Chains A and B, each alone.
Chain A
Amino acid sequence: MDYFLNEEQQMIRDTARQIAQEKIIPVRAELDEKELFPTEIIKVLAQSDMFGLFIPEQYGGLGRGALELCLAVEELSRACLGVSTSYAANALGTYPILLFGTDEQKKKFLPDIASGKKLVAFGLTEANAGSDAAGIQTTATKSGTEYILNGTKQWITNGGEADIYTVIAMTDKSRGARGASALIVEKGTPGFTFGKKEKKMGIRASTTCELVFDDCHIPKDNILGRDGMGFIVAMKTLDQSRTGVGAQGVGVAQGAFEEAANFARTRVQFDKPIIGFQAVQHMLADMAIQIEAARALVYSVARYVDSGAKDITKSSAMAKTFATDVGMRVTTDALQVMGGSGYMRDYPVEKMMRDAKILQIYEGTNQIQRNVIAQNLIKEFSRNK
């Protein structure tokens, strides 16, 4: 399918594809096996300007948008979701600054992010605040010209590796959701340490750990937006980033599909390649249909986001849900096509299937996404009456 990408978009896709081919595929099994953060690959991504894709030119980026980011994320995901998660989580952590930062904050933080010199992480989830983000217990108490941060963030992607953290904490517990604020916290700030590194089922090249704040003093200038805007910052950030998770689903599905199709062409049973059997053909056809449908939705929503539309919540939730469900289904079917070989670690598909599962869970489970979509549908229908 031709999605009428312009020359620069093709250049971005091809650059990401080349990095995936030359730098990621040769090491992905080892990164997974040893649970290693892909430091060398991050360096290559930085040198190739991939971290600056969606950052305005005035802050050292390339000034492109959601579609370009999706193209890059898709290509990286086709090779390894662990690496693409490290890359995409960087964008997730950057959006709060991009969307709500003052010019001064942007000047201070974005150039180093765009160049890949500094990595970013987003800190929202806590032990008692997952789908129900209103359960946040981390507090930021105002004291003179500072906020004093206390509490623990859990399962933070790029935790420990990142230099800049955008963290949601309660500045006024009595106001509930309206009492949350978003703060920029830099690595090395006294009182800011890292807890245990999680052992995960998949995306093991991506690092996940706790952020521990113990009387951590943050300058007041590091607040994003105003006091009490934390939830809006978080929700608008997730609206922006969700399409990228959809692109991860498309990428991992494409990668697994290609492995399965190539396997089916060469695996001989009953005297012919198994791709000659209709049972396999129909599975491959269904996989191809789902991937193309997911890609079409992800690109359309990304283009909608880039148009500057305000009501992107429902569309981005749809792209995320559909494409990540496709990611899970296609990786599962790809493994099935490959039978026992697919289950073995000699082939990359078992890893792709383990990796794909997270896409249905992080940045809002697909059940929460359906809630979001339904809430928007209810609003739209009541408005139309």
Chain B
Amino acid sequence: MKIIVCIKQVPDTSEVRINPETNTLIRDGVPSIINPYDMHAVEAALSIKDELGAEVTVLTMGPPQAEAALRETVAMGADDAVLLTDRAFAGSDTWATAYTLAAAIKFLGADIVLCGKQAIDGDTAQVGPAIAEFMDIPHISYVSQIASVSGDNITVRRLMDEGYDVVEAPLPVLLTVVKELNQPRMASLKGKMRAKKIEIRKLTHKELALDENNLGLKGSPTQVKNIFAPEMKKDRIVIAGTPEEQAGELISILKAIKCI
């Protein structure tokens, strides 16, 4: 069985500051980490490997420094790591990113594709499902438990607002996972030593035979016009008292402003 895990290197948001002039992230000097949800996807792949045996390849698209993120996953136990790096990929939105990743996954071949539910920088949660659409395979998002995997079938729990769905799908399939799925393992010493030496495979648009018009900024229908922090609204009322008193007061306020 072949499993591909898509990961993204993101700024460590616990260290992020916003430039008040431009309202954009200050990336200088901010450490990079693997998107935390993707760590759960890596762990899921390694658990399947431990249980059933599988070849786990970790894939990312990014600048050459994203190699560090890939090496971290090799230290955890991934067999192979592939970096999609090419100037032509720069500035990709979710459409172009998913298009490129899907092409790479088709090129590499996979029975199961795992992604984190979303990245903590962009927060779109679009790339995973979009990859599945480009590949024309089923996807199940927000997976909180992998109940069973067989050679041609998978059964999972999908986290819902209230409770969960049990969903079955044929392979190949793409899953996006939530943090409730598992506890990512620590890297082992043997893994770290292997990670230090492993050669990271690099792919560009040429190997994947992709049309440059669909890539990077050129291939991205979404253009970010402005990033800004929402304006703070200052009119706030804190209602005190017992829950009954608070509810009564709230109702009279809402009636007064004709909300109810």
> A residues within 8 Å of B by Cβ?
7-8, 11-12, 15, 18-19, 22, 44, 47-50, 52-53, 62
> B residues within 8 Å of A by Cβ?
185-193, 196
A49 and B186 form a contact (CB under 8 A): no
Apart from A48-B188, A49-B190, list 4 A-B contacts with CB within 8 A: A11-B192, A47-B185, A48-B186, A49-B189
User: When the two chains form the complex, which single residue of A47, A52, A62 contacts B186, counting CB atoms closer than 8 Å?
Assistant: A47
B187 and A8 form a contact (CB under 8 A): no
Closest B-chain residue to A62, C-beta based? B189
| Alpha-carbon gap, A22 to B191, bound state (A) | 19
User: When the two chains form the complex, which single residue of B186, B190, B192, B196 contacts A19, counting CB atoms closer than 8 Å?
Assistant: B186
B189 and A15 form a contact (CB under 8 A): yes
A50 and B189 form a contact (CB under 8 A): yes
Contacts of B185 in A (CB 8 A): 47
Most buried by A among B189, B190, B191, B193: B189
Shortest distance between the CB of A177 and any CB in chain B (Å): 39
Shortest distance between the CB of A69 and any CB in chain B (Å): 12
Closest B-chain residue to A18, C-beta based? B186
| Alpha-carbon gap, A50 to B192, bound state (A) | 12
User: When the two chains form the complex, which single residue of A15, A44, A52, A53 contacts B192, counting CB atoms closer than 8 Å?
Assistant: A15
Closest A-chain residue to B192, C-beta based? A11
Closest A-chain residue to B193, C-beta based? A8
| Alpha-carbon gap, A48 to B193, bound state (A) | 12
Secondary structure at chain A's binding surface: helix, strand, loop or mixed? helix
Q: How many A-B Cβ pairs are below 8 Å?
A: 31
In the complex, 14 of the A-B residue pairs with CB atoms within 8 angstroms, ordered by the A residue number, are A7-B196, A12-B189, A15-B189, A18-B186, A22-B186, A48-B187, A48-B188, A49-B188, A49-B189, A49-B190, A49-B191, A53-B189, A62-B189, A62-B190
Shortest distance between the CB of A368 and any CB in chain B (Å): 34
Shortest distance between the CB of A78 and any CB in chain B (Å): 18
Contacts of A62 in B (CB 8 A): 189-190, 193
Shortest distance between the CB of B143 and any CB in chain A (Å): 24
| Alpha-carbon gap, A382 to B196, bound state (A) | 52
Most buried by A among B185, B191, B192: B192
Contacts of B189 in A (CB 8 A): 11-12, 15, 48-50, 52-53, 62
| Alpha-carbon gap, A18 to B190, bound state (A) | 16
Shortest distance between the CB of A274 and any CB in chain B (Å): 32
Minimum-distance CB pairs A-B, first 6: A49-B189, A49-B188, A48-B188, A49-B190, A11-B192, A48-B186
Most buried by B among A18, A47, A53: A47
| Alpha-carbon gap, A260 to B36, bound state (A) | 35
| Alpha-carbon gap, A8 to B186, bound state (A) | 17
Shortest distance between the CB of B39 and any CB in chain A (Å): 14
Contacts of A48 in B (CB 8 A): 186-189
Contacts of B191 in A (CB 8 A): 49
Shortest distance between the CB of B186 and any CB in chain A (Å): 6
| Alpha-carbon gap, A121 to B191, bound state (A) | 27
Closest B-chain residue to A49, C-beta based? B189
| Alpha-carbon gap, A21 to B222, bound state (A) | 43
Contacts of B196 in A (CB 8 A): 7
Closest B-chain residue to A72, C-beta based? B189
Shortest distance between the CB of A49 and any CB in chain B (Å): 4
Contacts of A44 in B (CB 8 A): 186
| Alpha-carbon gap, A351 to B188, bound state (A) | 30
| Alpha-carbon gap, A11 to B191, bound state (A) | 11
Contacts of B188 in A (CB 8 A): 47-49
Shortest distance between the CB of B195 and any CB in chain A (Å): 10
| Alpha-carbon gap, A48 to B190, bound state (A) | 8
| Alpha-carbon gap, A49 to B75, bound state (A) | 12
Shortest distance between the CB of A13 and any CB in chain B (Å): 11
| Alpha-carbon gap, A47 to B189, bound state (A) | 9
| Alpha-carbon gap, A373 to B258, bound state (A) | 91
| Alpha-carbon gap, A380 to B191, bound state (A) | 46
| Alpha-carbon gap, A7 to B186, bound state (A) | 19
Shortest distance between the CB of A8 and any CB in chain B (Å): 7
Contacts of A50 in B (CB 8 A): 189
Shortest distance between the CB of A62 and any CB in chain B (Å): 6
Contacts of A12 in B (CB 8 A): 189
Contacts of A15 in B (CB 8 A): 186-187, 189, 192
| Alpha-carbon gap, A62 to B193, bound state (A) | 10
Shortest distance between the CB of B80 and any CB in chain A (Å): 20
Contacts of B193 in A (CB 8 A): 8, 11, 62
Shortest distance between the CB of A340 and any CB in chain B (Å): 35
Shortest distance between the CB of B133 and any CB in chain A (Å): 37
Shortest distance between the CB of B193 and any CB in chain A (Å): 7
Contacts of B192 in A (CB 8 A): 11, 15
Contacts of B190 in A (CB 8 A): 49, 62
| Alpha-carbon gap, A62 to B191, bound state (A) | 11
Contacts of A47 in B (CB 8 A): 185-186, 188
Closest B-chain residue to A57, C-beta based? B190
Shortest distance between the CB of A100 and any CB in chain B (Å): 26
